């Protein structure tokens, strides 16, 4: 069904390709060749010495987030910074870099942290690292020449020194993509392998394996395993299809044991429009915030399968503990320093409210979220001074998945709706017939002093008054979060 009331800014502010054009000579790769180029950057990279930062969009990270085309990211938090480690770049995919950020907005290239030129047993095909902290050290697990290596450093930015021999070859034809998980009891496990799934315990030295190797896997497993634990349940995420496929994507399975058996649960990522192949993920929760997860992965907008880009979006669980499908975005995530307070999943109790903007008229009157003309059909949403019309009364219901349903109190009870589920900023906001899709789910997050931002599930942008217009009747759209008054909302008695 065509459901467009008003289409503002058509095609504007497209941020699907936001990385620096970079070219490298690649040789010796048969499967996962390193990325060699990307589309023009719309966010203006800033260079300072060896550091390169990709600027954020307002107070959001934007996607992609790294200033080069690369893939297969891992992410950790250490010493007040987030660190992302992707597949190696440089000659023959031999140079692993780390990228750091204090708040998920701007990422700085920390330089080469491991160079395969300094590894005795393999010098090419450096893919898919995994980094963990333990014993006062940082352990860097990686693929090289289709074997698994491990290097050690006292710093998350290296230099990492290889142990001198491969840690494992694994079983199967492609023993790649290592991931190390440390359980709450202190036992560490390494997961790896394409098609053949390998799981084995690590010794406390973190550079040698012990015990029996398991191959128990979900029936549709392909590659890129990643494990987290939540409420005594182990979640195994993994990628499906070859990385070159437009439908390369992430699925997951669960178990009560870190070595399985695994119960297949469902799909997490899907291609969206020009964004293809969203896969090979890592997950991190904000420090001290057990329910605030970030999902880091690669994707591409180019027909060149090697022009992959690293992106970040939020990840949520529903009330039954299932991972919700990731909402692919071009805006990314909001500023989130590791020291910032945790967000409350459902800060507003279910009930009926008038939703007031922080913007007032020039005479000082409040402006409220309002249905144009108090219309009972599908209609535009705007601002207006306070009236008795039920078009300014909104019924909130928390859906137990990080989002709310917001329905009008008018007799037809239309739903607050994002036009066409657009992921681009500038999309119009309206009321529409009630559906269960992402167009009609909204996240509410506190921004202090009783004010909130209201974020669309599709696109991750926030309710915003066009141009901050203080005139009653100004249109309401979604836009990237910038912390300005037109994006602040308060929930009052109706």
The tokens describing 470, both together, are 């203080």
Whole-number Å distance between alpha carbons of 33 and 18: 21
10: how many CB neighbours lie within 10 A of its CB?
9
Which residue is associated with the tokens 């979220």?
369
**Among candidate residues 202, 194, 326, the one with its CA nearest the CA of residue 258:** 202
| Strand, coil or helix: 371 | strand
Contact call for residues 18 and 63 (beta carbons, < 8 A):
yes
DSSP characters for 240-277? ES-TTSTT-EEEEEEESSTT---EEEEE----BTTBEE
Contact call for residues 203 and 209 (beta carbons, < 8 A):
yes
Backbone angles phi, psi at 177, to 5 degrees: 60, 65
Contact call for residues 148 and 174 (beta carbons, < 8 A):
no
**Alpha-helix runs per DSSP H in 292-421:** none
| Residues whose CB falls within 8 Å of the CB of residue 93, separated by 6 or more in sequence, listed in order | 26, 29, 33, 34, 87, 124, 125, 126, 127
* Active-site annotation holds for 174: no
Active-site residue (options: 58, 72, 125, 370): 72
Active-site residue (options: 33, 110, 125, 223): 223
Q: From the centroid of its chain, how far is CA 105?
A: 12
Q: Residue 408: exposed, middle, or buried by beta-carbon count in 10 A (0-12, 13-18, 19+)?
A: buried
Whole-number Å distance between alpha carbons of 70 and 463: 33
Sequence length of the chain is 494
DSSP 167: S
**Among candidate residues 279, 122, 276, 134, the one with its CA nearest the CA of residue 194:** 279
- HSE, CB side, 13 Å, CA atoms: give it for residue 309: 32
* Active-site annotation holds for 223: yes
Whole-number Å distance between alpha carbons of 141 and 494: 56
Q: From the centroid of its chain, how far is CA 391?
A: 35
Q: From the centroid of its chain, how far is CA 53?
A: 18
Contact call for residues 429 and 414 (beta carbons, < 8 A):
no
| Strand, coil or helix: 13 | coil
Whole-number Å distance between alpha carbons of 328 and 275: 8
Backbone angles phi, psi at 292, to 5 degrees: -120, 95
Q: Could you list the active site residues?
A: 72, 223
């Amino acid at each position: 069904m065509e459901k467009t009331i008003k289409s503002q800014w058509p095609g504007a502010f497209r941020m699907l390709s936001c990385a620096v054009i970079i070219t490298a000579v690649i040789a010796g790769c048969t499967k996962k060749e390193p990325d060699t180029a990307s589309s023009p950057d719309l966010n203006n990279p800033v260079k300072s010495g060896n550091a390169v930062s990709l600027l954020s969009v307002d107070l959001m990270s934007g996607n992609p987030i790294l200033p080069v085309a690369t893939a297969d990211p891992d992410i950790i938090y250490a010493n007040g910074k987030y660190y992302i480690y992707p597949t190696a770049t440089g000659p023959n995919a031999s140079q692993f870099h780390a990228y750091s950020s204090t708040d998920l907005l701007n990422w700085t290239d920390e330089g080469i942290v491991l160079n395969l030129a300094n590894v005795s047993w393999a010098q090419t095909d450096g893919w898919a690292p995994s980094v963990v902290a333990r014993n006062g050290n940082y352990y860097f697990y990686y693929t090289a020449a289709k074997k698994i290596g491990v290097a050690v450093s006292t710093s998350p930015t290296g230099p990492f020194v290889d142990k001198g021999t491969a840690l494992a070859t694994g079983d199967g034809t492609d023993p790649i993509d290592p991931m190390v998980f440390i359980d709450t009891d202190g036992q560490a496990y390494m997961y790896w392998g394409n098609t053949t799934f390998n799981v084995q315990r690590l010794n406390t030295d973190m550079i040698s394996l012990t015990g029996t190797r398991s191959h128990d896997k979900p029936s549709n497993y392909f590659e890129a395993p990643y494990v987290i634990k939540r409420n005594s349940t182990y979640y195994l995420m993994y990628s499906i299809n070859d990385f070159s496929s437009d439908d390369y994507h992430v699925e997951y399975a669960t178990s009560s044991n870190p070595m399985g058996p695994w119960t297949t649960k469902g799909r997490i990522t899907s291609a969206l429009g020009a964004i293809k192949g969203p896969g090979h993920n890592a997950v991190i929760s904000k420090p001290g915030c057990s329910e605030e997860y970030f999902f880091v992965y690669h994707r591409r907008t180019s027909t060149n399968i090697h022009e992959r880009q690293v992106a970040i979006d939020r990840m949520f669980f529903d009330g039954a503990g299932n991972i919700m499908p990731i909402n692919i975005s071009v805006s990314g995530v909001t500023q989130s320093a590791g020291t910032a307070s945790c967000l409350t999943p459902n800060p507003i109790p279910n009930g009926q409210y008038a939703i007031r903007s922080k913007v007032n008229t020039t005479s000082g009157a409040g402006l409220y979220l309002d249905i144009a003309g108090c219309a009972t059909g599908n209609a535009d949403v705007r601002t207006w001074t306070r009236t008795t019309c039920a078009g300014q009364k909104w019924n909130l219901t928390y859906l137990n998945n990080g989002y709310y349903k917001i329905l009008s109190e008018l007799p037809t009870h239309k739903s607050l709706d994002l036009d066409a589920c657009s992921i681009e900023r500038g999309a119009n906001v309206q009321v529409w017939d009630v559906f269960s899709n992402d167009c009609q789910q909204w996240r509410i997050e506190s921004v202090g002093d009783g004010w909130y931002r209201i974020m669309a599930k599709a696109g991750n942008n926030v309710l915003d008054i066009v141009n901050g217009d203080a005139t009653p009747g100004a249109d309401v759209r979604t836009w990237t979060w910038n912390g300005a008054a037109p994006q602040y909302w308060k929930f009052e008695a109706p």
